[in-house]
Structure 1
Amino acid sequence: MKIVIYANSFSPNTGGGERYNLDLANSLNAQGDEVTVITPVRSDSEEKFKFSVIRIPGNKVVSVWKLPKILKGISPDILHISGPTEIDFILPSLAKFLNIPVIMTYHADFPSKLGRLYNSMFGFFQFSIDTVIVQTQSDMNKLLSRMLLPKRIKKLTFNGIDTTMYRKLDDDHERDIDLVFVGRMDKEHSYKGHWNFLKILHKLAQDCGTDLRVYIVGGGEDFSRFREESSKIGIGIQFLKDACNEELIKLLNRAKYLILPSTSNSEGFGRIVLEAMYCGTIPIVSRYAGSHELVYERSCGHIIDPLKIEETSIIICKLIRNYCKESPELSSILRITETEEYSLHWVISRTRELYLEILRRRSDNKAR
């Protein structure tokens, strides 16, 4: 198949959305599909991929007018939009005009007030989209409330983990880090709750003492200021900027708990939760993040309301003090990671099946 992926987030930027798009393109290419990624993300260096990458930097709304010529030239079997994007009001309609089937992965709402208004109008764009993939029931309910037809929504795990990389390195490995936070620190990713997490750390220092071992992994324009502010707390916090996969895996294999302190549902799922679980780390997840559904349904971690600082601090302090390698949560994590349901291989297989289903449906409709 010829697949075009429109990726709002892509390399060289880092984050869950970027990793999803890179994994999707690499995996489809490895299965023999002809993949082209179109992205508005600029790169100042030449990167080598096994698939084609077309970068259209600049204003996304203005650059959309370059897409007809590009799509006509490629003539893809499927356009897969990794969204939502700022050009959803025109890109699916353009594909429909060119008779290209459209599938969209709906990661999360835009965090800004203007973005949320835009999200609320998503139902108006649905008639140019064949299928919208969501990962959680809360996202499905959200889209249904925006008047999307149920037949257009497919609930499917789309955050797949490369289980050959993200895994426990050694069962006897010492868990010498109490808590890890992983997230981009800038205005665009403010929903990840890093400034609110700073307040939680202040309270943790009072409730649990200053001998806690905490690691912060991130990057972005707020990283240096966060580091400076956190130095005033008294906890020995270690920082790792823009960690590569290998560094992150080693770190998660040393950690007892990962915290995802998201302050809004713009977090979406938060794939770092799955990456941590595959490394044997127990997730502490915000009730606002989509992954809280997994944690609740499978009893594989703990749920907090990070906006309740004192309550959250008490919960985390108790968990760290009572950490046990034979905990029920780790048993649940083991059962999950022994299956293929969140593996990259399984996710890509289900995604390709969805592509083929859409193409069959279109073929049947033409035959009638």
Structure 2
Amino acid sequence: KLCYISGYKNRFQNFIKHLREMGDEVIVVTNHEGVPQEFHGAKVIGSWSFPCPLYGKVPLSLALSPRIISEVAKFKPDIIHASSPGIMVFGALAIAKLLSVPLVMSYHTHVPVYIPRYTFSWLVEPMWQIIRFLHRAADLTLVPSAAISKDFETAHVISANRIRLWNKGVDSASFHPRFRSHEMRVRLSDGEPEKPLIIHVGRFGREKNLDFLKTVMDRLPGVRIAFIGDGPYRAELEKMFEGMPAVFTGMMQGGELSQAYASGDVFVMPSESETLGQVVLESMSSGVPVVAVRAGGIPDIIPEDVEGRTSFLFAPGDLDDCVGKIRLLLADDEFRGDMGRTARAAMEKCDWRAASKTIRNEFYSSAIDYWRKKQAECQ
């Protein structure tokens, strides 16, 4: 029986879905905005939230009301899994201690890297101190990439034996080349579907290094770009691309998003701070090659031994390297198609079912064993 506490309710629906398919009982606590009463048979509890002061479209919630504590206590979970960072993880920690239940934390947003872009650099070390406090209180920490695991060890967050790598998972049925659509391509290209089309999907934040795409497009005459998503940097980005062959669609979900991915020629990912890069997985699953920065968790998706066969990486800040690889893909339809098919084949092996089974059967068991050992030592 799992209690899953997270503000990232859209990102891990597949995880909850597969746990339910395996017969597990699940209760989800998340922010109240747009929350359904249940998801694949898992009861969903909405917690009152408020906008993040520095990032208005991100809702924050402590998830620590008497109502929520009562609901979780009534459910009697075997383990609590909370997404970190965010203030909701403090609520999860308090509930786990109150109810004496093992706690797993999974780390998804590398806040220390983002802080200098939004506020004061001197806040980086206090943020690491908060991360240390939270993750040392957990029984196990899941990280999305080897790069984050290394950062945690360097910052002395917790010992390596209490860190596990949450293997990448992608919904390869929803993100598939079969969703390529001429109508969607017309929309993304602003009525010029015959032109080469770069796509980018994601949250538009200053930390995503999206202004790099302006310098890329300056070097690629005759090429169009489509931005799918939204975020606090959108207005500034639209102004930056004013008069250029660029389309901003806003947020897309479901079938529309599947079509958008599959209808591009190349996906470009300039962010240097991704803990994993789910959008990279989804583009490759859609049969669209990626040109991404060799940084953060991206090399876990495109390791050195397959680079140039499934997708390309470029050195951080190296405009010539990036543009050269985009040109190579756009100039040769056959080469691009072969790479897209190879990327798709690689992603078929990275499904959510396998990732969910590993977490359920191995990682949760490790956390429960560690918790039991701590309990025995305290007696």
TM-score (normalised: structure 2): 0.78
Structure 2 distance, partners of 1:128, 1:349, is 25
Q: Is the 8 A contact 1:285 1:292 kept in 2?
A: no
Give the aligned residue type for 2:20.
N
Change over 3 Å in CA distance of 1:82–1:243 after alignment to 2: same
Give 1:352 deviation, angstroms: 1.0
The equivalent position to 1:280 in structure 2, one of 283, 287, 295, is 287
Give 1:87 deviation, angstroms: 5.2
Q: Is the 8 A contact 2:216 2:323 kept in 1?
A: yes
Change over 3 Å in CA distance of 1:282–1:367 after alignment to 2: same
Structure 2 distance, partners of 1:350, 1:73, is 27
Counterpart in 2 of 1:199? 215
Counterpart in 1 of 2:48? 57
Counterpart in 2 of 1:14? none
The equivalent position to 2:199 in structure 1, one of 169, 180, 183, is 180
Give 1:217 deviation, angstroms: 0.8
Kindly tell me the number of residue pairs found equivalent between the two proteins. 343
Pairing 1:65-144 to 2, within 5 Å after superposition: 66=66, 68-86=69-87, 88=89, 91-92=92-93, 94-110=95-111, 111-113=114-116, 116-121=124-129, 122-144=131-153
Q: Deviations over 1:131-160 (max 9, x none)?
A: 111121111111111221111101231x42
Gaps of 5+ in 1: 11-17
Give 1:28 deviation, angstroms: 1.9
Counterpart in 2 of 1:251? 260
The equivalent position to 1:152 in structure 2, one of 155, 162, 176, is 162
Q: Is the 8 A contact 1:197 1:306 kept in 2?
A: no
Structure 1 distance, partners of 2:141, 2:35, is 33
Gaps of 5+ in 2: 51-59, 186-192
Give the aligned residue type for 1:99.
S
Q: Is the 8 A contact 2:35 2:44 kept in 1?
A: no
Counterpart in 2 of 1:351? 359
Q: Does 1:321 align with 2:337?
A: no
Change over 3 Å in CA distance of 1:145–1:252 after alignment to 2: same
Give 1:61 deviation, angstroms: 7.4
- Calculate percent identity across the aligned residue pairs: 18
Give 1:290 deviation, angstroms: 1.0
Give the aligned residue type for 1:43.
E
Give 1:29 deviation, angstroms: 2.4
Change over 3 Å in CA distance of 1:337–1:224 after alignment to 2: same
Q: Deviations over 1:311-361 (max 9, x none)?
A: 53344234322453467744642541343xx10111111111122343355
The equivalent position to 1:215 in structure 2, one of 226, 232, 240, is 226
Structure 1 distance, partners of 2:62, 2:263, is 47
Give the aligned residue type for 1:166.
F
SS at match of 2:16: helix
Q: Is the 8 A contact 2:172 2:348 kept in 1?
A: no
SS at match of 1:351: helix
Structure 2 distance, partners of 1:257, 1:37, is 36
Counterpart in 1 of 2:346? 336
Q: Deviations over 1:101-156 (max 9, x none)?
A: 11111113112246743442223333421111112111111111122111110123
- C-alpha RMSD of the superposition: 3.3
Give the aligned residue type for 1:165.
S
